[in-house]
């Protein structure tokens, strides 16, 4: 809880359980530090004896704690940051200057150094950098002010957050992996290849035909929402957000939405790509993919009106199917009379006084409920999934099922 400036109350004393938890945490930290020191000494001794293989093995084992230490640094940074954010949100307090955020910034930076692919550290650095741009500078301490720099580049403290690995340029290949599609699957794949499996981000190229990351999600009708709920439970349990594409992130936390819209989810994907400094090329249409004798692929693309060929060792197709409806008049009888869901911006703005919905998937009952003011008929192959009792993850939430059931029974 925040205190007013006029408050004379003393800080409340910590409860016994809190003190016990703090003591246990301190003991655990001391044990970890002791283990690291012992591992370092053993590695040095092995190195002096020219037992290089075991020295490297010992050092590698000791360094396994770095991701855990990075998580601790993120926790420290958030603990330092939150009181400052409370100050920003309090009207009777003057806005803090950048220098006051230095400790929090350094904690997140340290986490990124210990674990360059810690998504939470990268996202916090990105957000804090954007916040610092809006805050006043402190000219009296200009030498120590934390300057705003793009995450992934050298910051004002002389630190470099770049993911680039030391590797000579490979002129034969455009990239080691080309991922076609900048949606959830494409960005999730690129993030996993770089952040989890350690590929150089410059060697994983994501090609997106649209104007922005998540183009297909941005094409959803305004009323459409995710079926699977996002729960902001990071830190409560070892569970994860079902809609997350990167470990340690949560659309619920980022978007403050339990059932995100298409645009909201696209913004979440874009934030992941920016924080991880993924190599994404927009407005690039893939025309063909052809194998190369001996391995690899030629990927023919059109960008800025020019056609070029990119060479890659591997290709991942993640372009999705939502934007490829069978709309040709000869697809099936009457196809030319239909409008596919991906072509509708808002069902509430659809012209006409009567609708016929074809299909029984999750989107059709939802549209039925949203358009219930107009006479509507639904042509379904089977009962809508919203009414079926099933443990499948595609089953809609109970509130949505209730809405659809009430409309169908009216």
The predicted model gives 284-294 an average pLDDT of: 94
Range with lowest mean pLDDT among 34-48, 65-79, 109-123, 390-404: 390-404
Phi–psi pair at 298, nearest 5 degrees = -95, 125
Would you place residue 213 in the very low, low, confident or very high pLDDT band (cuts 50, 70, 90)? very high
| Mean of pLDDT over the chain | 74
Give the pLDDT of residue 168: 35
Range with lowest mean pLDDT among 48-52, 133-137, 183-187: 133-137
Q: Is the pLDDT of residue 289 over 90?
A: yes
Give the pLDDT of residue 139: 38
Q: Is the pLDDT of residue 389 over 80?
A: no
Q: Is the pLDDT of residue 2 over 70?
A: no
Range with lowest mean pLDDT among 170-179, 198-207, 312-321, 323-332: 323-332
**Helices 102-114 and 119-132 sit at what angle, rounded to 10 degrees?**
150
Per cent of the chain over pLDDT 70 is: 66
Q: Is the pLDDT of residue 320 over 50?
A: yes
Give the pLDDT of residue 151: 40
**What's the per-residue H, E or C state across the chain?**
CCCCCCCCCCCCCCCHHHHHHHHHHHHHHHHHHHHHHHHHHHHHHHHHCCCHHHHHHHHHHHHHHHHHHHHHHHHHHHHHHHHHHHHHHCCCCCCCCHHHHHHHHHHHHHHHHHCCCCHHHHHHHHHHHHHHCCCCCCHHHCCCCCCCCCECEECCCCCECCCCCCCCCCCCCCEEEEEECCCHHHHHHHHHHHHHCCCCHHHEEEECCCCCCCHHHHCCCCCCECCCCCCCCECCECCCCCCCCCCCCCHHHHHCCCCCEHHHHHHHHHHHHHHCCCEEECCEEEEEEEECCCCCEEEEEEECCEEEEEEEEEEEECCCCCCCCCCCCCCCCCHHHCCCHHHCCCHHHCCCCCEEEECCCCHHHHHHHHCCCCCEEEECCCCCHHHCCCCCCCCCCHHHHHHHHHHHCC
Among 112, 95, 202, residue whose Cα is nearest residue 157: 112
- Other beta carbons less than 10 A from residue 65's beta carbon: 16
Would you place residue 377 in the very low, low, confident or very high pLDDT band (cuts 50, 70, 90)? low
Give the pLDDT of residue 286: 96
Tokens 């016929």 belong to 356
Q: Is the pLDDT of residue 387 over 60?
A: no
The predicted model gives 178-205 an average pLDDT of: 93
Give the pLDDT of residue 294: 86
Give the pLDDT of residue 360: 57
Which comes out higher in pLDDT, residue 398 or 324?
324
The predicted model gives 244-262 an average pLDDT of: 80
Tell me the per-residue pLDDT of 11-51, one tens digit each, with 9 for 90 and over. 444 455 555 655 565 666 677 777 788 888 888 898 888 88
Q: Global pTM?
A: 0.52
The predicted model gives 193-217 an average pLDDT of: 92
Q: Is the pLDDT of residue 373 over 60?
A: no
Range with lowest mean pLDDT among 94-108, 117-131, 141-155, 314-328: 141-155
Domains of the chain: 20-141 (no CATH), 175-317 (3.50.50.60), 335-408 (no CATH)
The predicted model gives 211-234 an average pLDDT of: 80
Which comes out higher in pLDDT, residue 379 or 141?
379
Q: Is the pLDDT of residue 167 over 70?
A: no
Range with lowest mean pLDDT among 205-209, 229-233, 316-320: 229-233
């Amino acid at each position: 809880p925040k205190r007013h400036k006029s408050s004379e109350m003393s800080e409340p004393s910590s409860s016994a359980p809190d003190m016990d938890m703090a003591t246990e945490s301190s003991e655990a930290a001391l044990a970890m530090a002791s283990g690291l020191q012992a591992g370092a000494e053993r590695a040095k001794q092995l190195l002096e004896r020219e037992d290089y293989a075991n020295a490297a093995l010992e050092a590698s084992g000791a360094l396994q704690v770095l991701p855990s230490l990075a998580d601790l640094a993120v926790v420290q940074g958030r603990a330092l940051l939150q009181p400052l954010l409370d100050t920003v949100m309090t009207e009777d307090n003057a806005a803090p200057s950048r220098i006051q955020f230095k400790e929090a910034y350094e904690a997140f930076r340290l986490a990124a150094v210990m674990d360059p692919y810690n998504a939470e550290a990268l996202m916090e650095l990105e957000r804090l950098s954007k916040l610092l741009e809006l805050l006043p500078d402190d000219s009296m301490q200009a030498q120590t002010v934390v300057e705003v720099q793009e995450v992934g580049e050298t910051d004002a403290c002389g630190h470099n957050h770049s993911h680039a690995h030391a590797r000579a340029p490979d002129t034969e290949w455009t990239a080691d992996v080309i991922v076609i599609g900048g949606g959830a699957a494409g960005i999730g794949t690129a993030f996993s290849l770089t952040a989890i499996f350690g590929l150089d981000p410059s060697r994983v190229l994501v090609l997106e035909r649209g104007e922005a990351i998540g183009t297909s999600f941005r094409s959803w009708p305004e009323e459409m929402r995710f079926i699977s709920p996002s729960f902001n439970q990071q830190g409560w349990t070892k569970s994860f957000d079902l809609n997350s594409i990167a470990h340690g992130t949560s659309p619920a936390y980022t978007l403050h939405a339990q059932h995100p819209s298409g645009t909201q989810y696209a913004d979440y994907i874009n934030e992941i790509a920016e924080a991880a400094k993924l190599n994404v090329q927009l407005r690039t249409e893939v025309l063909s993919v052809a194998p190369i004798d001996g391995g690899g692929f030629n990927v023919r693309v059109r960008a800025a009106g020019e056609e070029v060929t990119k060479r890659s060792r591997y290709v991942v197709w993640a372009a999705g199917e939502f934007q490829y409806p069978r709309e040709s008049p000869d697809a099936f009888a009457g196809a030319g009379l239909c409008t596919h869901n991906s072509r509708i911006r808002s069902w509430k703005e659809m012209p006409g006084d009567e609708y016929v919905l074809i299909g029984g998937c999750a989107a059709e009952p939802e549209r039925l409920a949203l358009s219930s003011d107009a006479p509507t008929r639904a042509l379904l192959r089977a009962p809508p999934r919203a009414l079926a009792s099933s443990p499948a993850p595609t089953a809609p939430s109970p509130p949505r099922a209730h809405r659809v059931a009430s409309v169908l029974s009216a």
